[in-house]
Structure 1
Amino acid sequence: MAKPNKKQPSKTVEIFCNNCKFQLFKYRKGGKGALVKCFKERIIEDFTQEPCVCPNCEKEFARETIIRGVPAFKMIGGKVVSR
């Protein structure tokens, strides 16, 4: 399978915990679809101390995985919201 584009997308979104509204990431998102995965190389700012766990409410919002040979976070449905 093809790897994600080397050129980073220009659109930046902020990702928040849906439970407590704490900001988790600032992320360069490509495309118009829903946020399903976050490639680690596209994360601009990371506000979490422990990977995939909200530091405020301590709930898991994603799982670490490899997608197309690149490390990524696979989001759990309904746990995050992006603006």
Structure 2
Amino acid sequence: MAKPNKKGPVTTVDVYCAKCRALLYKYRKGGKGSLVKCFKERIREDFTQTPCVCPQCGSLFAREQLVRGTPAFKFIGGKVFAK
């Protein structure tokens, strides 16, 4: 499998917790599809203290996985939304 593009896209989305609406990440997203995973190297700003745990309400919103040989956060369905 091919690795994700190192340079990455230029469009930035804000990733929020669906439960308490806290800002989690500023992420460089590519493509038009829904946000399913988040490559760690594309995260521009990280507002979480513990990986995959919301800083405000403490809910688990993702799991750490290797996707195409690259570390990523795989989001749990319905726990986050992007603007």
Q: How many residues align?
A: 83
Gaps in structure 2 of 5+ consecutive residues: none
Q: What SS does structure 1 have at the residue aligned with 2:52? A: coil
Instruction: Give the equivalent residue in structure 1 for 2:30.
Output: 30
Instruction: Give the equivalent residue in structure 1 for 2:52.
Output: 52
- TM-score normalised by length of structure 2: 0.98
Amino acid at match of 1:63: R
Q: Please list the CA deviations of residues 21-57 of structure 1 after superposition, one character each: whole Å capped at 9, or x if unmatched.
A: 0000000000000000000000000000000000100
Calculate the aligned-residue CA RMSD, in Å. 0.5
Report the Cα distance in structure 2 between the residues aligned to 1:38 and 1:62, rounded to whole angstroms.
9
Instruction: Give the equivalent residue in structure 2 for 1:70.
Output: 70
Aligned-pair identity in percent equals 67
| Residue 7 of structure 1, CA deviation | 2.1
- TM-score normalised by length of structure 1: 0.98
